[in-house]
Amino acid sequence: MAIGLALALGGVAAAPAATAPDTPMERAITAPGPKGDLAGTLREAAGDGDAPVVLILPGSGPTDRDGNNPMGLKAETYRYLADDLAARGIASVRIDKRGMFGSSAAGSPEDVTIGAYAADTRSWIDAIREETGAGCVWLLGHSEGGLIALSSAAQSGEGVCGLILVAAPGRPLQDIIREQLRANPANAFLLKDADRIIDALVAGETVPDSEIPAPLLPLFRESIQGFVRSEFALDPAELAKATDLPLLLIYGGRDIQVAPTDGERLAAARPDATLATFPDMSHVLKSVAGDGMQANLATYADPDLPLTDGVGEAIAAFVKVAPKR
């Protein structure tokens, strides 16, 4: 939840979330949630035969199965990715998180932890294997979804083909949030309070809303502090080191939220991992011309802008040559 919300303090305009309509190559799929069904879309692969299946775990906040959210994100990143992979013979499932959009009946979106999302991921793995007959499922985690993929694999690697981490944090999340806040000069007056709140949450404490400045409430309000504490307790590099699953790391050189150095930290923890960096790619997997902030933010709100060339190809190539499990 935290990745991206710090960026939102910088003023990304609001826009309604949307889900792309079904196509003849898509169908609905569900998995059991704690209180109701989790909902997703299965995108079938082009061609015949048993296609590998990738489960796309979305990024932070109220991000839907297509990669959009009402906080200004209208990039259709996951829909584009599903289409690209399908054309390369790889099926995918993109999902709505617990309590959100099509999965609203599954439970409260604020009564979650990374461990709860990891349990939902396990439910999805089992449902996908039953629906498709696949022997295993690839976990593709984007941004915060990468932390969920790592946590799920740490709980159990059964039925998991491997991990694909895209713009995923490679450091403890509290370090990234501090960095994001400091990157925007407009946040200078908030930094002392932010550090105080982060230190308290890392220590396992609760911070009342009355002690949180209004601009920081989206990040740290009391109702989501259980989730934030669960994020702060994890070191992605240690999680990566703890699994021997095939691991692909994809990062963008123009990502203003998660730096390529995060990928390098994960690669150092797993020297057998494959690291691919796309120099012009933003956090939402779209190319940016130059270093300007406005041009970068524009990629978040342009559903007509395609993905950076080569991203789908890199994923497909890795999936097809990885050892069978």
Domain of residue 123, CATH code:
3.40.50.1820
The answer to whether the CB of 266 falls within 8 A of the CB of 294 is no
pLDDT, tens only, 7-21: 433 322 223 333 444
**pLDDT at residue 49 in the model:** 67
Which residues are within 8 A (CB) of 179 and not within 5 positions of it... i.e. 6 or more apart?
A: none
The answer to whether the CB of 166 falls within 8 A of the CB of 141 is yes
> Does residue 186 lie within any of the structural domains?
no
Rg (CA), the chain: 18
The pLDDT-based confidence of 50 (bands split at 50, 70, 90) is confident
> Does residue 207 lie within any of the structural domains?
no
Question: Which among 237, 222, 300 is positioned nearest to 271, based on CA atoms?
Answer: 237
Give yes or no for residue 72 having a pLDDT over 70.
yes
Q: How many domains are contained in the chain? A: 1
The answer to whether the CB of 26 falls within 8 A of the CB of 43 is yes
> Does residue 299 lie within any of the structural domains?
yes
> Does residue 103 lie within any of the structural domains?
yes
**pLDDT at residue 46 in the model:** 82
> Does residue 282 lie within any of the structural domains?
yes
Question: Which among 26, 64, 58 is positioned nearest to 45, based on CA atoms?
Answer: 26
**pLDDT at residue 24 in the model:** 52
> Does residue 212 lie within any of the structural domains?
no
Give yes or no for residue 202 having a pLDDT over 80.
yes
d(CA 40, CA 37): 10
> Does residue 58 lie within any of the structural domains?
yes
As a whole number, mean pLDDT of residues 157-183 equals 96
Give yes or no for residue 75 having a pLDDT over 80.
yes
Q: The domain containing residue 128 runs over which residues?
A: 5-170+246-320
Helix (H) or strand (E) holding 160: strand 160-166
As a whole number, mean pLDDT of residues 241-269 equals 97
Question: Which among 77, 228, 225, 212 is positioned nearest to 142, based on CA atoms?
Answer: 77
Q: What DSSP string describes 252-314?
A: ETT-SSS-HHHHHHHHHH-TTSEEEEETTB-TTS-B-SSS-HHHHHHGGG-TTSPPPTTHHHH
Give yes or no for residue 113 having a pLDDT over 80.
yes
Q: What is the pTM of this model?
A: 0.91
**pLDDT at residue 38 in the model:** 98
Average pLDDT value over all residues in the chain: 92
d(CA 309, CA 287): 8
> Does residue 149 lie within any of the structural domains?
yes
Q: In the 8-state DSSP scheme, what is residue 235?
A: -
